[in-house]
Amino acid sequence: MSENLPLIAITMGDGAGVGPEVIVKAMADPVVHERGRYVVIGDLRRLQQAAEIVGSTLSLVPVAEPEDAVADPATISVLDLDLLPDDLAWGELSAVAGDAAYHYIAKAAELAVAGRVQAICTAPLNKAALHLGGHKYPGHTELLADLTKTPEVSMMLSTPRIKVIHVTTHIGLIDAVRKIEPQLVERVIRRGHDALVAAGVPKPRIGVCGINPHAGENGLFGYGEEEEKINPAVEVCRAAGINVDGALPADTLFFLGGRGDYDLVVAMYHDQGHGPVKVLGLEAGVNITVGLPVIRTSVDHGTAFDIAGTGVVDEGSMIEALRLACEMAPSPKDEVSAPAAGALG
């Protein structure tokens, strides 16, 4: 019965980007509606414009409260915040759109913390627009951590072939190397391990990347960062019963992870993790924020201003993000808890 399905809040993201189109196209997939109920937090008129662009025949209806969302595959329920002008240009940087994107996610976080929705699934925002709108956050991950008063979270990227969790994300490479230290690496390993266990992987195999080429090759490259910053954390986690190897050369580790030798790769910095993931599975990639008191998944792509408003964007990542949000979400009658079994498969 539809009332037993989790209610997922979908945030529209930056209205000048592909978010509205991705949402409308994904909501046309009938399989999506077998797993959950949905309410889009955004602007009704912008979604209607997107529906016209992609040729959708779905009905878009405003709802006053998320609980009023219609469980109908032919309908998209919208909690209309009415923040965007009708003539907002597609594919252009906009402070108004950046500010609106902030308010969509703030509303979703409020509803999720209150237990009125069981998970959040986010369409992409634009960091520059977010900043122009007066909200100085590097991205969704840090924004949601602040909104939910969570001191530390991790970004996990999930594709059908590989899963990656990051020790650092939206900071420069020099700053990332400075920030990495054994306690942080240990917390990220444990956070990734616990997420996979909760998702039905009883003893996940975890590989930890080094920082330098060849993981330093016994001091040949770098200044001993692997021995100082990474290996102590691996040893502590291994002593605690976690099946973890490292520090390992990143290029070799991603090959091994891609063929199935590891359930999770721990990347040290943003591009070390994002590059291989986007090569191996961008179309079905999902971004999961691990450590929040609420479930949050996201598409693994940006606002794509170059194609926004054309209707050609691929909705595969959004469909996969919605699937994971539904599988990770608790029952509507339960309190927010850890991901459901099998959710990250």
Domain ranges of the chain: 1-152+289-345, 160-284
Mean pLDDT along residues 309-331 = 90
**In the predicted model, what is the mean pLDDT of the chain?**
91
Map residue 113 onto helix, strand or coil: helix
Q: Is the dihedral of CA 237, 243, 249, 253 positive or negative?
A: negative
* Core vs surface per residue 187-205: b (16+ CB within 10 A) or e: bbbbbbbbbbbbbebeebb
- The answer to whether the beta carbons of residues 205 and 243 sit under 8 Å apart is yes
Mean pLDDT along residues 257-265 = 94
Q: Is the dihedral of CA 253, 254, 259, 261 positive or negative?
A: positive
Mean pLDDT along residues 282-305 = 87
Amino acid residing at 247: A
The architecture CATH gives domain 1-152+289-345 = 3-Layer(aba) Sandwich (3.40)
- Token pair of 125, please? 């925002």
pLDDT band at 340 (very low <50, low <70, confident <90, very high): very low
- The answer to whether the beta carbons of residues 9 and 41 sit under 8 Å apart is yes
Amino acid residing at 266: V
Mean pLDDT along residues 101-124 = 96
Distance CA 341, CA 323 (A): 13
Task: Let me know the angle formed at the C-alpha of 194 by 178 and 285, rounded to the nearest 5 degrees.
Answer: 75
What pLDDT is recorded for position 1?
Answer: 47
pLDDT band at 134 (very low <50, low <70, confident <90, very high): very high
Amino acid residing at 205: R
Mean pLDDT along residues 290-301 = 90
What pLDDT is recorded for position 23?
Answer: 98
> Phi then psi for 141, rounded to 5 degrees?
-60, -50
* DSSP 8-state symbol, 67: G
Mean pLDDT along residues 7-14 = 98
Convert the pLDDT of each residue in 176-195 to its tens digit. Answer: 999 999 999 999 999 999 98
Convert the pLDDT of each residue in 227-252 to its tens digit. Answer: 999 999 999 999 999 999 989 999 99
What pLDDT is recorded for position 335?
Answer: 47
What pLDDT is recorded for position 283?
Answer: 61
Residue 224 has pLDDT above 50, yes or no: yes
pLDDT band at 336 (very low <50, low <70, confident <90, very high): very low
pLDDT band at 344 (very low <50, low <70, confident <90, very high): low
The distance from CA 34 to its chain's CA centroid, rounded to whole angstroms, is 22
Residue 285 has pLDDT above 90, yes or no: no
Residue 3 has pLDDT above 60, yes or no: yes
- Token pair of 132, please? 């122009």
Q: What percent of the chain has pLDDT over 90?
A: 75
pLDDT band at 334 (very low <50, low <70, confident <90, very high): low
- CATH assignment of 160-284, among 3.30.499.10, 3.40.718.10, 3.20.10.10, 3.40.50.280: 3.40.718.10
What pLDDT is recorded for position 160?
Answer: 80
What pLDDT is recorded for position 44?
Answer: 98
Whether the domain at 1-152+289-345 and the domain at 160-284 fall into the same CATH topology: yes
| Least confident range of 90-94, 177-181, 332-336 | 332-336
- The answer to whether the beta carbons of residues 126 and 136 sit under 8 Å apart is no
Map residue 333 onto helix, strand or coil: coil
What is the four-CA torsion angle of 260, 263, 266, 267, rounded to 10 degrees? 40
Distance CA 262, CA 271 (A): 19
- DSSP, residue by residue, 183-226: HHHHHHHHHHHHHHHHTT-SS--EEEE-SSGGGGTTTTSSSSHI
Residue 46 has pLDDT above 90, yes or no: yes
pLDDT band at 341 (very low <50, low <70, confident <90, very high): very low
* Of residues 186, 109, 119, the one with CA closest to residue 143: 109
**Highest mean predicted confidence (pLDDT) among 148-162, 173-187, 197-211:** 173-187
pLDDT band at 338 (very low <50, low <70, confident <90, very high): very low
Map residue 138 onto helix, strand or coil: coil
Q: What percent of the chain has pLDDT over 70?
A: 94
Mean pLDDT along residues 76-94 = 98
Please name the helix (run of DSSP H) or strand (run of DSSP E) that holds residue 83, with its range, or none: none
What pLDDT is recorded for position 333?
Answer: 63
